[in-house]
Amino acid sequence: MTDISEILKSQKFLEINSEIRNGVKKCKETCDFFSICGGGYISNKLAEHGSFDVTERLTCKLRIKESGNILLDYLESEYIKNMKR
Ligand code: SF4
């Protein structure tokens, strides 16, 4: 059995860690939804693009952006309603 400390020091782990960090950094620099997402869904990055060093995926559109837009629309409409009172 491999010790976790050996895994954490392995070249493969360091490469994956770097790739993930690069992808999250790109998300932070380019995505308006980063504050509610944090660049997550790491496994979907790999599944959809074969790399962790990417940003938007179908998962983003369906789970984060659509629900975020619906929430923002709702909050805006509630805010406008309250302003008219
Ligand atoms: S929604 Fe997608 S592109 Fe935007 S921060 Fe999250 S993972 Fe990155």
**Could you read off the pLDDT of 27-75 as tens digits, one per residue?**
999 999 999 899 988 999 999 999 999 999 999 999 899 999 999 999 9
CA pair distance 65, 49, nearest whole angstrom: 18
- Cα(73) to ligand 1 centroid in Å equals 19
Q: Which atom of ligand 1 is nearest to the CA of 65?
A: 1
Pocket mutation for ligand 1, best pick of 48, 55, 62 (most atoms within 8 Å of C-beta): 55
Among 48, 52, 47, CA closest to 22: 52
Cβ–ligand 1 contact at 44 (below 6 Å) = no
| Sign, Cα dihedral of 22, 24, 27, 28 | negative
pLDDT at 6 over 90: yes
Domain-wise residue ranges, the chain? 4-84
Cβ–ligand 1 contact at 24 (below 6 Å) = no
Q: What is the pLDDT of residue 83?
A: 87
Lowest mean pLDDT among 7-11, 24-28, 37-41: 37-41
